[in-house]
Amino acid sequence: MSIIYVLIPIAMLFVLIAVAIFFWAVKSEQFDDLDRQSVSILFDDDNQSSPSKPNAPKNEPLTKEQPELPL
Amino acid sequence: MTTCFHCNEPVLTGDKFFTTIDGQAQAMCCPGCQAVSQAIIDSGLANYYRFRSEPGNRQNALVPDELNQFSAYDLPEVQQDLVHRQGELDSISLTIDGITCAACAWLIEHKVKTLNGVTQIGVNSTTQRVMVSWRPDTIALSTILKQISDIGYQAAPYQVDDQEKLSKAEGRKFLLRLGLAGFATMQVMMFAFALYSGYFTDLDVELRDYFRWVSMIFAAPVVFYSAQPFYFSAIRSLLSGKLNMDLSVSIAIAGAYIASCIATVNGTGEVYFESVSMFTFFLLLGRYFEQQAKQKASVSSSNLHKLIPVTAHLIQDGQTIEIAAKKLKVDDIILVRPGDIVAADGDIISGLSSVNESMLTGEQMPVTKNIGQKVFAGTINIDQPLEIKVKALGQDQLVAEIIRLQEFASNNNPKIALLADRLARYFSATILTIATLTYFIWLQISPDDAFWITLSVLVATCPCALALATPTAVTCATAIFTKLGIITRKSGVFEKLPQINHVVFDKTGTLTCGQLSLGTVKLFADIDQEAALSLVANLEQGSLHPIAQVFTPFSDKNLLVTNINHQVGKGVQGIYQQQVIKLGSLAFCIQNSDNLNIDVHSHHQHVYLSINDKLIASFELNDLIRPDSEQVIKTLKAQSIMVSMATGDSSGHVKYLADRLHITDIHSGMSPESKLNLINTLQQTKHVAMFGDGINDAPVLAGANISIAMGSGSAIAKNSADLILLGDHLSRFNDAITVAKYTNKIIKQNLAWAFGYNVIILPLAVTGHVVPYIAAIGMSLSSIIVVSNSLRLLRLKL
């Protein structure tokens, strides 16, 4: 049971790191536009990979088949 | 019924407009949507249609190129005020109209990124703003704005509300404090659970002390950093001699923490670290919701405060130069071309034209203006160029007078003190008194326990649930409002709405659509209706007259009409296939109107078409009543809410509309001041809600108890209102009242529960039965109950 005297400080260290990362994220404006950030990874246009990932259920399909594959 | 592929509105023009997307022809509802979708496809951004989760913005009829040039933005005086220069780069922050979902942000960024000279662009879809940097020697600001306009979004500079500047910094700090409190609370709770076991089984004293020390370390940042807002607020209220809730909160947090520290060091007594942390967290959460709501409101306020630069064409020494409107002086002579906005109040010294004064008076039909008559800043010239001698500038203009009236009205608006705030004040005083009493009483009975019991009283009765009661309900209700397309600009709306017992409606643009549409078409000769419409459309092409806009969808590229000649106040004529065609008033079109089957006393506007002096067709033009107007008024009356109409119009249309909609209390020919007086008189006995859309409605919107501006109304009207109805669906107002009534019920339930909980726990605390885990359970349970009750709001079926 005395291992707990070591484990708890280690846990505290982890929490400290987590809080530091959270502070950094807020300060670098990542929490400013939550709408956009949640979908921006799906707006893939650099490598033209298939946007056929299930994006939002309300997405209207342009044609009946799925969009084309990368060139 | 086919719907427009771009904006989802129903397509009423058959298969006239379409765009080929991915090899398939998709229907479009109007030239505007077609041009925009074509521009999107041409830029290689068809992915927008794949990514979007909401339909695009409805595009109004194609705006003529002259109005769309944005050249004013390149003037040095304008750039000085709006553009930020840093070395070689210019940058500006703009607000954008028309963003409906995150894909719109993606679309704008990708369109503008490709422009040569643009170095950086970032669109925020939550605040609806764009920040763009560019090299001024490579590309002009007007080009960037035009590109954005081509794909269907209107960008404009805006005035940042002072409120908003504060909100943004505050919001971020709040989030930091909240996050830290959250993390720390989770850790402290874990150790607290370990400590609770001490009440039920044996717990080694060393372990107990170790856990207490660790809890103390974790709770420290919460007490010293996260809870700061409460301390400052308490000190501020003490200094101004008032009691507020934050005072008892601060005493509880600080007192409990210090006492628990002492207990940890001495190894005796009880520790309340988890209660303190949890308490701070929940309270911060409630405050954060409130602050976010305020921030959203101030962001949309700023967005509405657009700073569109007004320019004028100054005539000096026989030359015309374009200058910023603020550089004009009295007695300057300016040239106002068809389609231009009049830059300053003045007298006409040359020219004959008609002017659209709808933004000031609310009336759609342009007013004919001759030499010697006055024109006003903000109105739009329609037919012919006018030379104006400037007579009033800045604060002396009619528009400025209306804005002053609006500010006066908003300052004198009776403010309803919110229920929760009043309760909170009495609450603090009561709790502090009871705590002090408890201390002294226990001091007599058992001095050792006195301190701990008093502490438990303070901790257990802490108004956690009370603080969450209103903000959570308001946040949920606001979310419902957003889904309904209602924007809330001021707080207290949910309390005020159910109290309304009298509604006043503006006419044009509120009860009616505000735009002329085509009614019945009567044909008097052997001609196809479509052919007649196309003839009219081509004859009226390029005209900015509201009547011309009605026929635009019917234009036909193959019909050639030449020698077009506008006659102000009468009509327009042209040549088609060597025949003279005329469109306009009856007297203009034909010589002899005796033997015709025409009802000249109809209260509807008509224009007539003649070929070679022979009457061909008559077109009825209506300002269509909004489809839900009648139903809305019926529903309001059914709820015993009185309905009135107050309008600037004094034509026969007013009575006609009132009869159609069963409104008996009519006020016509009202100026902005008389509308305000009407509301003030009504307010002496009733709670009044006002609906409006034009600049002339701004004062009365600021003065009413609750005011609603139509989404398509002027920016000043929207800025003065409490609520904005997007999409102009009047029926949403009835839904809003229902939601507000339900929200009020839920808030009252929350408050009842919060107080009830305190009433139950107080005697338990005073008699010494509340130990830390009971306080913690009580606090978390009551908060969860309040939040869950508020979430019930989201289930409301309308």
* Chain A residue with minimum CA distance to B127: A33
Question: Which stretch of B241-245, B397-401, B403-407 has the lowest confidence by average pLDDT?
Answer: B241-245
Q: Is residue A70 part of a domain?
A: no
Taking an 8 Å cut-off on Cβ atoms, the answer to whether A43 and B106 are in contact is yes
Residues of B in contact with A39 (CB under 8 A): 51, 102-103
B207 touches chain A (CB under 8 A): yes
Taking an 8 Å cut-off on Cβ atoms, the answer to whether B105 and A36 are in contact is yes
What is the distance between the alpha carbons of residues B458 and B156, in angstroms, rounded to a whole number? 53
Q: Is residue A11 part of a domain?
A: yes
| Model pLDDT, residue B225 | 93
Mean pLDDT of B121-136: 87
Instruction: Give percent of chain A with pLDDT exceeding 70.
Output: 59
pLDDT, tens digit (0-9, with 9 covering 90-100), for B149-161: 888 888 888 877 7
* ipTM confidence score: 0.71
| Model pLDDT, residue B213 | 92
Residues of A in contact with B101 (CB under 8 A): 35
Most confident of B49-53, B266-270, B366-370: B366-370
| Model pLDDT, residue B13 | 67
pLDDT of residue B295 exceeding 60, the answer is yes
| Model pLDDT, residue A64 | 38
- pLDDT band for position B600 (50/70/90)? low
Find the domain containing A15 and state its range.
4-32
pLDDT of residue A53 exceeding 80, the answer is no
Q: Is residue A56 part of a domain?
A: no
Taking an 8 Å cut-off on Cβ atoms, the answer to whether B207 and A1 are in contact is yes
* Chain B residue with minimum CA distance to A6: B210
| Model pLDDT, residue B603 | 64
**Shortest distance, CA A21 to any CA of chain B (angstroms):** 11
Q: Is residue A24 part of a domain?
A: yes
Mean pLDDT of B436-454: 84
| Model pLDDT, residue B515 | 75
**Shortest distance, CA A71 to any CA of chain B (angstroms):** 15
pLDDT of residue B16 exceeding 80, the answer is no
Structural domains of chain B, with CATH: 1-62 (no CATH), 65-157 (3.30.70.100), 165-301+417-473+770-789 (no CATH), 476-512+626-741 (3.40.50.1000), 515-624 (3.40.1110.10)
Which H, E and C letters describe B531-594, residue by residue? HHHHHHHHHCCCCCCHHHHHHHHHCCCCCCCEEEEEECCCEEEEEECCEEEEEECHHHHCCCCC
Taking an 8 Å cut-off on Cβ atoms, the answer to whether A22 and B124 are in contact is no
B217 touches chain A (CB under 8 A): yes
Question: Which stretch of B8-22, B93-107, B335-349, B679-693 has the lowest confidence by average pLDDT?
Answer: B8-22
**Shortest distance, CA B647 to any CA of chain A (angstroms):** 41
**Shortest distance, CA A36 to any CA of chain B (angstroms):** 5
> What total number of domains does chain A contain?
1
Other C-beta atoms within 10 Å of B780: how many? 17
Taking an 8 Å cut-off on Cβ atoms, the answer to whether B179 and A42 are in contact is no
Buried b or exposed e, range B629-659, using 16+ CB within 10 angstroms:
beebbebbeeeebbbbbbbbbeeebbeebbe
Taking an 8 Å cut-off on Cβ atoms, the answer to whether A43 and B179 are in contact is no
Residue numbers of B between 445 and 504 with CB closer than 8 Å to A: none
Mean pLDDT of B753-780: 84
Instruction: Give percent of chain B with pLDDT exceeding 70.
Output: 95
Of A8, A26, A35, the CB nearest to B125: A35
Q: Is residue A51 part of a domain?
A: no
What phi and psi values does residue B334 have, to the nearest 5 degrees?
-120, 150
Q: Is residue A47 part of a domain?
A: no
Considering Cα of B601, then B607, then B612, then B617, what sign does the dihedral take? negative
Distances (CA, A) of B312 to B320, B390, B714: 10, 11, 21
Taking an 8 Å cut-off on Cβ atoms, the answer to whether A12 and B176 are in contact is no
Residue B706 is inside which H or E element, if any?
strand B706-710
| Model pLDDT, residue B206 | 86
Of A18, A35, A43, the CB nearest to B51: A43
Taking an 8 Å cut-off on Cβ atoms, the answer to whether B51 and A62 are in contact is no
**Shortest distance, CA A59 to any CA of chain B (angstroms):** 5
Q: Is residue A27 part of a domain?
A: yes
- pLDDT band for position B413 (50/70/90)? low
Q: Is residue A68 part of a domain?
A: no
Taking an 8 Å cut-off on Cβ atoms, the answer to whether B106 and A40 are in contact is yes
Helices and strands per DSSP (H, E), number in chain A: 2, 0
Separation of CA B140 from chain center:
30
